[in-house]
A and B are shown apart, each in its own frame.
Chain A
Amino acid sequence: LIPGFSGRSRYLVDYQDGPYHLLVAVRCVVGANPEPTYALLDTAAEWCVLPADLARTWVEDLTPDPLVSPLQTRFGLLYGRLERMSLSFLAEEGRDLDIDATFFLSQDWIGPVVIGWRGCLERMNLALITNEDAFYFAEPQ
């Protein structure tokens, strides 16, 4: 492991997921669901986002919250609500990283799982080592 990081995994690179191009997708577990999935790592995304049917696994009511500003996406504005959920980045080497994260949930989102900045990446350390397709992560010092 690179000094300063506690875990490492390989990321999925350059994957066409329907109309979405996942440039970098990292393996993670969302909520209480034990099955891991690949999620688009997007430091430019405002929030983490879940596909609606995955979100409904934990939150039945996805009614948009009028206090929460809509997300701007390439397909237009997305109305939704914020919920606190657990997220774990799974290590192939070292230790997993567990995050108490905030997700934007919308009944209209049919895209991929997105790992965004606010409520998640903003308070962790991460590095991408491109010659080995490796995602390094750690809790902040």
Chain B
Amino acid sequence: MSTALDANLQLILDPDPQVNEDLLRLRDYLQRQDIQGARAWVQELAARWPDSERVQYYARVLAPPVARAAPGRIGEHRDQEMAWLKAHGRDYPGCWLAIFEDRLVAAHPDLQVVLAAAREALGDERAILFYQCPDRDTP
């Protein structure tokens, strides 16, 4: 797997070899799990290579997360859905489930099928969406 990835490296990186050199150093930070070092380095690269899509992409995905309390939303309780899931969820291995109040709205392995069914059944109301993993012990 890693050989195939290395073979793809040049296809994925920037066409400019100087940018690639800098990105390979970024890979070194990531391989060492030095996220702070990677963040500092990619910020330097973002300023150095403002027109590189690859560099700007890494600057975006490696930036620290930003959390903000949302203004003005009203909380909602979903205890019924949680109770249904605890009681019945395991009966649907490998399926996406759409649960609303105390009932199952849709269950299917295809996420899009479940989303379509839930929206048709509920309109603007929102079901709880849950993926019940298959029971097998391998991915």
Contacts and interface: CB of A to CB of B under 8 A. Distances in A.
A135 to B, nearest CB: 12
Contact of B12 (A65, A83, A100, A122): A65
Instruction: Report the contact-size class of chain B (Cβ under 8 Å from the partner).
Output: 35 or more
A119 B86 CA distance: 29
Nearest to A38: B130
Contacts of B58: 67
Given A10-B79, A34-B126, A92-B75, A98 B136 contact: no
Contacts of B135: 18-19
A18 B137 CA distance: 8
A27 B90 CA distance: 18
B30 A69 contact: yes
Instruction: Report the contact-size class of chain A (Cβ under 8 Å from the partner).
Output: 35 or more
A35 B115 CA distance: 8
Contact of B128 (A20, A36, A95, A139): A36
Interface of B: 1, 5-6, 8-9, 12-13, 23, 26-27, 30-31, 33, 35, 58, 60-73, 75-79, 82, 85-86, 89-90, 93-94, 96, 98, 110-111, 115, 118, 126-139
A36 B61 contact: no
Interface string A64-98: 11111100010111010011100010111111111
Interface of A: 6-7, 9-10, 12, 15-20, 27, 33-38, 46, 51, 53-54, 57, 63-69, 73, 75-77, 79, 82-84, 88, 90-102, 108-113, 118-120, 122-124, 138-140
Nearest to A104: B61
A58 to B, nearest CB: 12
Contacts of B31: 69
Contacts of B133: 17-20, 110-112
B137 A19 contact: yes
